[in-house]
Amino acid sequence: MIQTDKLYEIFCQHPEIVTDSRQILPGCLFFALKGARFDGNQYALEALESGAAYAVIDDARLPNDPRLLLVEDVLGAMQALAREHRRRMGIPVIAITGTNGKTTTKELAAAVLSTTYRLLYTQGNLNNHIGVPLTLLRLRQEHQLALVEMGASKPGDIAELCAIAEPNYGIITNIGQAHLEGFGSLEGVLRTKGELYDWLRNHEGKAIRNADDPLLRDIADGIPSVLYGQGSEALIRGELLSQEAGKLFFELQWSAEVIGIEGQRQATQLVGAYNMGNVLAAVALGLFLDVPSEEIVRSIAAYSPSNSRSQLMHTPLDNLVIADAYNANPSSMHHALENFFAIESPRPRLLILGDMNELGTQAHEAHQILYEEIQRLAQEGDQLWLCGPIWAGMGLTERTFASAVELEHYLSKGNVPHGHLILVKGSNGIRLNNILPKL
């Protein structure tokens, strides 16, 4: 079997990594990963025929071919290779995790840091045990920093990713109720996200910490930290000034003694006061890494969200749509509802909410609590449409759809709203993003 040091020599000659045999690049290194419904070993020979230089496999029954590199476990070999590459590159690594906002924070931080550094950062949502090593294997000599997003769905996930990425700096955006099917409780979420702090504490790392989250304060002992937030404790402070219903932007006032800009009032293109912590995290990280304050302000103002993450859409049907259909859990739903009902607008309101997935045995109770919150916040004339098998099984009187396909069909029958303020939010698996073009 081939060992990591020999595999690394081959990787240096063939640094393009591919894990999908349908996307083979000439001279690439194909890793034959396995999943619940596929075995990449079955496509190793096909990958070689398509132009891969080598294929990393863990099935010894394949033919004896010098281009087939046998390892004990393909995923483990890829993770070990990524760790070795990260060590040899020797550049600082920043890890970002948290229940809500980690992808938005990563994108904001990337916008800030890219003004000053040659930055490698996580593309899309490649934040798991496969995505993190794939990101690290994209490191090249020209890079000066790496920004790595880390997701988790069960205890031990963040510790595993830290052991691969070996971060020097870390951000936990917040702690909330999500993936309870894997974590079991909020305490389980806290312990798992806190594995990033454990790594930093044990390896002389530093944290960029949300001072407004008391749960994070309680687990941050012994870690040098730069604090951001709205309270006086924070070094990097922000103050919510306004939200304009027409644009749904909010403004921030930076701490003048830190940034050196007296009374800076900064509009962003983000929707919702709940994004303020994400902005402050990116600002704090930029200041800590010596990004000029004017570059920070400029890049924050220029950042525009996409991919249904707090994305504002003004549609041809004169609807103002807040598209936040990539993720949903009790914490993020609560903040989204708070923001939505706080917006002053003459438009009639419509909430299109999908199921919150991966809540395990707490799913029904969490949806019932959310429904009761909506009833308290909603006013006469507000409409609520619910989508997904959990909502459909609750026997509620509101208009309910078992799937996004069913909702699309309803919209196609001439039931599209016009001139509404609309919130579209649900777990990605409900596929509410598919209905956005119809609004």
Per-residue pLDDT tens digits for 16-41 = 999 999 999 999 999 999 988 899 99
Contacts 24+ apart (CB under 8 A), 36-45: 40/74, 41/74, 44/68
CA distances to 75, 164, 288, 402 from 121, rounded to whole Å, are 21, 15, 18, 37
User: For residues 74 and 67, what is the distance between their CA atoms, to the nearest angstrom?
Assistant: 15
The torsion angles phi and psi of 206, rounded to 5 degrees, stand at -130, 150
User: For residues 177 and 300, what is the distance between their CA atoms, to the nearest angstrom?
Assistant: 28
The enclosing H or E element of 206 equals strand 206-210
Structure confidence at residue 183 (pLDDT):
61
User: For residues 243 and 250, what is the distance between their CA atoms, to the nearest angstrom?
Assistant: 5
User: What DSSP character marks residue 34?
Assistant: B
Structure confidence at residue 360 (pLDDT):
85
Beta strands 54-57; 93-97: pairing state:
unpaired
Sheet holding 54-57, edge to edge: 17-18, 29-31, 54-57, 68-70
Quick one: tokens of 101? 């906002």
Q: Report, as ranges of residue numbers, the positions in the chain whose pLDDT lies below 50.
A: 246-248
Task: Kindly indicate whether the domain formed by 90-302 is annotated with CATH number 3.40.1190.10.
Answer: yes
pLDDT (tens digit per residue) in 192-227: 889 999 999 999 999 999 998 888 988 999 999 999
Quick one: tokens of 202? 């044990």
Counting Cα atoms < 13 Å in the Cβ hemisphere of 60 gives: 5
Of residues 381, 382, 379, the one with CA closest to residue 353: 382
Q: 90-302: same fold as 4-72?
A: no
Evaluate the CA torsion angle 330, 335, 341, 346 in order and state its sign: negative
Q: Which residues of 348-385 are buried (b: 16+ CB within 10 A; e: fewer)?
A: ebbbbbbbbbbbeebbeebbeebbebbeeeeeeeeebb
The residues near 223 (Cβ < 8 Å, ≥ 6 apart) are: 197, 200, 201, 205, 206, 207, 209
CATH architecture of the domain covering 311-438: Alpha-Beta Complex (3.90)
User: For residues 136 and 133, what is the distance between their CA atoms, to the nearest angstrom?
Assistant: 5
Cβ neighbours of 425 (radius 10 Å): 25
Structure confidence at residue 274 (pLDDT):
82
Domain boundaries, the chain: 4-72, 90-302, 311-438
User: For residues 165 and 149, what is the distance between their CA atoms, to the nearest angstrom?
Assistant: 10
CA distances to 271, 324, 438 from 370, rounded to whole Å, are 21, 16, 26
Structure confidence at residue 246 (pLDDT):
42
Q: Give the SS3 label for residue 229.
A: strand
Put residue 115 in one of left, alpha, beta given phi > 0 → left and psi -120 to 50 → alpha: alpha
Classify domain 4-72 at the CATH topology level: 3.40.1390
